[in-house]
Every structure is written in C-alpha cells, then in structure tokens.
Amino acid sequence: MKLRALITLAAISLSALAPLTVWAQRSTRSYQTVDPGLVARAQQVTGDRFSVVTTTPRGVSVVARMTPQPAILNAIDQGFAELFAIAQRHGYRNHLNFSDYTVFIGRADRIKNSSGQYSPDIAIGAAQYAGSVYDQGGYVFAAGMVLSFAPSAFVLAEHDRDLGRVSNVVRYEGEHIILYYNDRRLYAQTMDHSRGGSHPILQ
C-alpha cells in the first residue's frame, strides 16, 4: 500500500464529554492528565488497555500500551512539524502547537497488507465504507483514525520499523484536525474518503 493511499476514517467528536481527568504514569516518572472519555473511546476503537502516558520531545501527549521508543516519539514530532509547515503555507494559524494534540498508539490488527508490504493497521467497523473496495467483510483496515477534536486526538498502530510511515500517518490524520479548525468547507469535503480522495490533502 502506498503511503499516499493510507486510509483514514471520519472523525468522531467527543466535545460533549465532561472534562474529567485521570492520572497516568509517564515513562519519566512524572504525571499528566488525560481525559477519561477520550481514553475510553480509544479503547473502544482498538480493544486495547492503555497504561502509559508520555510526551514527545516537542510536547505531543502520547498514550500507549507500552512505553514508546524514542525513535517513535521523534517520528511523531516530525509528522507534526511537516504538517504545521504546510498549514502555515496555506495561511492557517489555528491549532499549530504540538501540545494541542494527543496521539494514541494501539496494537496493530495486521502487520502486512494484501500485497505483503509492511503496513501496521487497525481494524475498524466499515460504517460508511461498507460495500466499498476497503470493506473487508464489515470492517476496514485503517492506518489511523481521528478520535476527537476537543481535545484533538487520533490513534495509529504500533510500528517497529519504517518510521517514515509513522510520520506520514501523523501528518495525514492531523490534516483533518487542522482543516476542522481552519477551513470548515474543505474539512467537510475531505472528512472521510468513502467518496474517493486520499492524502495528502494539503500540498
């Protein structure tokens, strides 16, 4: 599967959830808060139990099953850095801080795609993709999925190599959130790919 054709799914807003917090231990032995409704939604989507909360060097919150390697955290930062640079070229100004985002890292439901290429993806109910080329019998394999706009969060699958793919998934999922905050017309046109279209949305 080419990176330009990575699947992303429609974003699901959790803004109506009460702003409660839970405490989760960071790998650095300090603490930070995570919205429990957001954690519950991520666990519902992936079937995982998230027990680690940490941050990337540039301030992105990361929630995972196990402590991510530094290279993964750096790849996440790289994806956001590329996204923010492109957004600024388009004149966008809102939601361009690393600390605005939370990234969940879930267990991959597959490691290789149908062509045998390395492609850690998460199985998600087909929903609006039912009957499309992506439908695998009631579910699709997604490289990532936006979980919420407030707080802004998405999930991607665990990787142990090809970290450029991690950066690309971050950039592509982040595009939906950037557009939500900066260009609602384009966001509405590209909020999911069931009618065609793929990433990158912003060139």
User: Is 197 within the bounds of a domain?
Assistant: no
User: Is 156 within the bounds of a domain?
Assistant: yes
User: Is 195 within the bounds of a domain?
Assistant: no
User: Is 167 within the bounds of a domain?
Assistant: yes
Tell me the per-residue pLDDT of 90-123, one tens digit each, with 9 for 90 and over: 999 999 999 999 999 999 888 888 789 999 988 8
CA distance 59 to 54: 9
Boundaries of domain holding 98 = 3-190
* Domain count within the chain: 1
Q: What is the mean pLDDT of the chain?
A: 79
CA distance 163 to 182: 28
User: Is 158 within the bounds of a domain?
Assistant: yes
Tell me the per-residue pLDDT of 60-77, one tens digit each, with 9 for 90 and over: 999 999 999 999 999 999
User: Is 55 within the bounds of a domain?
Assistant: yes
At which residue do the structure tokens 């079937």 appear?
Answer: 47
User: Is 203 within the bounds of a domain?
Assistant: no
Report the candidate in 64, 24, 17 with the shortest Cα–Cα distance to residue 38: 17
